[in-house]
């Protein structure tokens, strides 16, 4: 069952609030008199995240990138992803994915009397690389039908969610034009690396590595030491967990689950965030041995029974 958590794009993100304050000339946000003051540590974390994203310089002032990011009423990780997609010539694809992420928990529906058919329809949309590419595939197929309601019904897709994604996308197109992000589609749809690298540029803090035993992951950085996280069962990557992943959001239920998961390569992290990751430390992590498949299967079986 899908959790009723609020999509990240709709949350009042503290990082975006800080960007907005900085953009209107508030230099010392720690001393700013908020109507509903956030926790001091949360504000410090937001400033640190913005610095890591390249939105703030060492003096805490907006960089050129930060000024562009402040134009977007989004989580700064999303705005960084959009702006960076221009570098990889896939901005159209990226804003389509981000629009779908806005409604990601309510794209598919599963009637009790047609569960098999609904699951089969959902599987037909699965694309290599993970959930972001699967959502892009859903969007592109819907566009090809001229936004058909009938097509949504046939494929067990919520029409209202798709129209909401279309509205969000229209807004993002306007914002891209205002911030002079060139709108272009990935010239080679078979090559998903440009899209993956665009998201790594914005979400390098939301990355994890598969641990040697079982199906659990650990955040590469930016997380509690020893905290285990898992791919959500609804993910297209749940049955075949990649070694390195990026995720859109972390949802706490019985376990800490990663939602909307994308496979990545560790070297992209060094390219995207050289001040946060080094080639040597990632190679060291990458060289750690994985347990034999028969042991891994036994571990997974044990986990499923617990």
- Mean pLDDT, consecutive 10-residue segments, the chain of 306 residues? 41 84 93 88 94 96 96 96 98 98 91 93 96 98 98 98 97 96 95 98 97 90 82 95 96 93 97 93 76 42 38
Residue 187 lies in a domain: no
Helix (H, G, I), strand (E, B) or coil at 134: helix
Range of the domain at 157: 85-178
- Determine the Cα angle at 259 with ends 251 and 204, to 5°: 100
- Residue 67 lies inside a defined structural domain of this protein: yes
| pLDDT for position 105 | 80
Buried b (16+ CB within 10 A) or exposed e, 41-50: eebeebbebb
Same domain (yes/no): 58, 103? no
Beta bridge partners of residue 207, listed in sequence order: 246
CA 140 – CA 101 distance, rounded (Å): 14
Query: Does residue 189 sit within a domain?
Result: no
Quick one: 214 and 299 in the same domain? yes
What are residue 233's phi and psi, to 5 degrees?
Answer: -55, -25
Establish if 232 belongs to a structural domain.
yes
B/e letters for 195-227, b = 16+ CB within 10 Å, e = fewer, are bbbbbbbbbbbbbbbbbeebbbbbbbeebeeee
What is d(CA 86, CA 94) in angstroms, rounded to the nearest whole number? 10
Residues 93 and 51 placed together within one structural domain of the fold: no
Residues 170 and 257 in one domain: no
Indicate if 209 and 169 belong to the same structural domain: no
Note whether residue 1 is domain-resident: no
Q: Which of 50, 72, 94 is the last residue of a domain?
A: 72
The answer to whether residue 199 sits within a structural domain is: no
Question: Which of 161, 178, 195 is the endpoint of a domain?
Answer: 178
Residue with tokens 């499923």, as numbered in its chain:
304
What are the residues whose beta carbons fall under 8 Å from the beta carbon of 245, sequence distance 6 or more? 130, 207, 208, 210, 217, 231, 237, 258, 261, 262, 263, 264
d(Cα 214, Cα 229) in Å, to the nearest integer?
12
The span from the CA of 101 to the CA of 206, in Å, is: 15
136 and 165 assigned to the same domain = yes
- 214, 238: one domain: yes
pLDDT for the residue 288: 66
Tell me the pairing of strands 256-263 and 228-231: parallel
What confidence score (pLDDT) does residue 286 get? Answer: 79
Whether 42 and 93 have beta carbons less than 8 Å apart is answered as no
Q: Which of 19, 46, 72 is the last residue of a domain?
A: 72
The alpha carbon torsion through 71, 63, 20, 170 (nearest 10 deg) reads: 10
Rounded Cα distance, 204 and 198, in Å: 10
Pairing of strands 244-252, 228-231: unpaired
Residues 38 and 102 in one domain: no
Q: Where are the alpha helices (DSSP H) in 106-218?
A: 115-123, 131-144, 149-154, 159-178, 193-203
Q: What is the pLDDT at residue 12?
A: 59
What is the pLDDT, as a whole number, of residue 61? 95
Same domain, 64 and 30: yes
In a domain, 2, yes or no: no
Neighbouring CB atoms inside 10 A of 154's CB total 12
The model's pTM is: 0.88
Sort residue 129 into left (φ over 0), alpha (ψ -120 to 50) or beta.
left
Give the C-alpha separation, 46 to 56, whole Å. 11
* Structural domain count, the chain: 3
Let me know if residue 186 belongs to a domain.
no
């Amino acid at each position: 069952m899908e959790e009723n958590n609020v999509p990240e794009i709709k949350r009042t993100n503290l990082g975006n609030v800080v960007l907005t304050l900085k953009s209107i000339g508030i230099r010392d946000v720690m001393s700013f008199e908020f109507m509903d003051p956030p926790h001091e540590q949360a504000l410090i974390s937001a400033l640190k995240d913005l610095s890591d994203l390249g939105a703030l310089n060492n003096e805490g002032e907006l960089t050129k990138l930060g000024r562009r990011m402040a134009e977007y009423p989004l989580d700064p990780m999303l705005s960084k992803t959009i702006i960076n997609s221009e570098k990889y010539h896939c901005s159209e694809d990226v804003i389509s994915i981000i629009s779908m992420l806005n409604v990601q928990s309510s794209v598919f529906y599963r009637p009790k009397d047609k569960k098999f058919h609904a699951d089969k329809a959902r599987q037909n949309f699965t694309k290599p690389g993970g959930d972001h590419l699967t959502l892009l595939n859903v969007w592109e197929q819907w566009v090809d039908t001229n936004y058909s309601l009938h097509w949504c019904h046939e494929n067990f897709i919520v029409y209202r969610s798709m129209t909401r994604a279309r509205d969000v996308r229209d807004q993002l197109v306007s914002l891209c034009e205002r911030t002079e992000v060139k709108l272009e589609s990935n010239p080679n749809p078979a090559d998903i690396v440009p899209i993956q690298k665009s998201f790594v540029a914005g979400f390098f803090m939301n990355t994890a590595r598969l641990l040697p035993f079982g199906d659990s992951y650990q955040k590469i950085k930016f997380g509690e030491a020893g905290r285990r996280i898992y791919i959500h069962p609804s993910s297209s990557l749940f049955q075949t967990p990649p070694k390195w992943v990026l995720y859109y959001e972390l949802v706490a239920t019985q376990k800490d689950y990663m939602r909307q998961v994308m496979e990545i390569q560790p070297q992209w992290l060094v390219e995207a965030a050289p001040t946060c990751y080094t080639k040597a430390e990632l190679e060291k992590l990458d060289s750690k041995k994985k347990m034999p498949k028969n042991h891994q299967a036994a571990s997974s079986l044990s986990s499923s029974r617990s």
